[in-house]
Amino acid sequence: MEKELSWKEWENPGDPHLINRVQWDKRELESMMLPFYQDWHGYGKAQQKLENELSKFTGISSFNLTNSGSTAITTGLKVLKEQGRFKPGDLILHPVTTFPTSISPAIDYGGIPVFIDTKPGTYVVDEDQVERAIKTHPEIKGMVLPYLLGNIPNMDRIKNALGERWLIEDSCDTMGGYFGETHVGNFGDFAAFSFYGSHHMTTAGVGGAVGTNDKELTNLAKSIIFWGHDYETHDGGKTNTEFLKRYATKTMGNDFQMTGVQAGFGLAQIEKIPGFIEARNNQFKELDQFFKEKGEKYFILPRSDPKSKPSWFSYPLVVKEDSPFTREEIVEYLTENNVEIRPIMCGNILKQPPFSKIEKITLDNEKFPVADAIEERGFFIPAWGMSENQRKDYNQILEKFLEKYD
């Protein structure tokens, strides 16, 4: 029974090496039943419990679950709009190497991105450019900061450069990452997490959460997620006297909520997250050692700030310009050998049609050498914490390719 229900483990050479496997068992199935046992499918115990567990794990004082990481970011922006801290026409700092919905909600609401480049091998903002952008455009109002692929830039420098400006940490690609002794998500006004199926943990395939250390922000976020309701004037309509206030509205809301079934799945996953993270980190380190020995001539390898302890989502590589093979050649080889690869998100988002014509500001005449290299020669490979058996086969596939160029 256990075996039949378990996620399918990799068994034989030839089985695919995927970017991620959702690792689940009977615990997820049982936990998902919580709303059925309670005969209550609205916001309830499963969601509350997962919000509390997220706080315990990250140190962020409160969470509101959402139906995705994208809507977690949107919630943060909508709260800032409610507070008058974000208005149409405001300048928003953002890296050009990003995930589309990290910046598209801000553009949708009339924000104008000030795009900057990343530092080679980091996939996160170049701190020099953050400082320069704010000096050049002091009217910048805030920043959406993606920890792309789980890496973390120097938060001391970024916080210092931002001063009082708002910050939304887009932590969708990571959980368990620290800068110094502080878990990501504790540096800004809001932190957005994603529980999409390929991420560190999942809420049955999709889901997200928005966290904050500010009570007023968390109340406003809850209102945005639940139709704009004013939860302070009523208790959800459970008593007769409060009933007529049920649709009292506090914000221009939406419906971004997570179901109890999803939250139940997430509750079983968050119990396992320390193990998931450790396995990911171990495989990342193993790959890093391998590429440092055998691949440094051919690839730009991932690197991070000395003070940050990233919790990587995958292993990213950029093929060097003078390498004896092209990205397309290695990608073709890997794909033929059943290794799933992905491009590094939107390498340079300005090359994507919907973003190519938006109103924007750039620092160096629209020149983004790091993003262009990522766009033209970058890709990432799985590092989700495979079993030893699987890693053996996967590592051999990688080794075999590089042997040709020894």
Ligand X SMILES: Cc1ncc(COP(=O)(O)O)c(C=O)c1O
What are phi and psi for residue 35, nearest 5 degrees? -60, -30
Which is nearer to ligand X, 19 or 148 (by Cβ)?
A: 148
The residue number with the shortest CB distance to ligand X is 69
Stretch that binds ligand X, among 97-105, 272-280, 375-383, 394-402 (CB under 6 A): 97-105
Q: How far apart are CA 394 and CA 286, in angstroms?
A: 12
β-strand partners of 379: 317
Binding to ligand X by residue 170, rule CB under 6 A?
Answer: yes
Stretch that binds ligand X, among 51-59, 122-130, 165-173, 247-255 (CB under 6 A): 165-173
Which is nearer to ligand X, 210 or 220 (by Cβ)?
A: 210
Stretch that binds ligand X, among 19-27, 99-107, 131-139, 263-271 (CB under 6 A): 99-107
Parallel, antiparallel or unpaired: strands 208-212 and 62-66: antiparallel
Phi/psi-derived region of residue 233, left when phi > 0, alpha when psi is between -120 and 50, beta in every other case: alpha
User: Of residues 75, 102, 104, 337, which one binds ligand X by CB under 6 A?
Assistant: 102
For residue 163, the number of C-alpha atoms closer than 13 Å in the C-beta half-sphere is: 8
Q: Is the dihedral of CA 250, 256, 260, 265 positive or negative?
A: negative
Q: How far apart are CA 277 and CA 267, in angstroms?
A: 16
Q: How far is the CB of 73 from ligand X (least distance, A)?
A: 6
For the chain, what is the largest distance between any 2 Cα atoms, rounded to a whole number of angstroms? 78
Q: How far apart are CA 46 and CA 77, in angstroms?
A: 26
What are phi and psi for residue 164, nearest 5 degrees? -85, -5
- Residue 221's SS3 state is helix
Q: How far apart are CA 222 and CA 210, in angstroms?
A: 9
Q: Which of residues 235-294 bind ligand X (CB under 6 A)?
A: none
Q: Which of residues 182-221 bind ligand X (CB under 6 A)?
A: 194, 196, 208
CB 168 within 8 A of CB 184: no
Which is nearer to ligand X, 42 or 205 (by Cβ)?
A: 205
Which is nearer to ligand X, 168 or 318 (by Cβ)?
A: 168
- Residue 169's SS3 state is strand
Q: Of all helices (H) and strands (E), which one includes residue 240?
A: helix 240-243
Q: How far is the CB of 403 from ligand X (least distance, A)?
A: 33
Which is nearer to ligand X, 123 or 298 (by Cβ)?
A: 123
CB 155 within 8 A of CB 186: no
Q: How far apart are CA 144 and CA 108, in angstroms?
A: 14
Q: How far is the CB of 113 from ligand X (least distance, A)?
A: 15
User: Of residues 10, 24, 99, 291, which one binds ligand X by CB under 6 A?
Assistant: 99
Q: How far is the CB of 366 from ligand X (least distance, A)?
A: 22
Q: Which residue from 164, 166, 163, 129 is spatially nearest to 144, judged by alpha carbons?
A: 166
Stretch that binds ligand X, among 8-16, 96-104, 353-361, 365-373 (CB under 6 A): 96-104
Q: How far apart are CA 2 and CA 24, in angstroms?
A: 11
Site string for ligand X, 113-152 (x = CB under 6 A): ---------------------------------x-x----
Q: How far is the CB of 171 from ligand X (least distance, A)?
A: 8
Binding to ligand X by residue 64, rule CB under 6 A?
Answer: no
Q: How many residues bind ligand X (CB under 6 A)?
A: 14
Q: How far is the CB of 213 from ligand X (least distance, A)?
A: 21
Which is nearer to ligand X, 67 or 323 (by Cβ)?
A: 67
Which is nearer to ligand X, 51 or 173 (by Cβ)?
A: 173
Which is nearer to ligand X, 187 or 401 (by Cβ)?
A: 187
- DSSP letter at 65? E
User: Of residues 47, 68, 259, 308, which one binds ligand X by CB under 6 A?
Assistant: 68
Binding site for ligand X (CB under 6 A): 68-70, 99, 101-102, 146, 148, 170, 172-173, 194, 196, 208
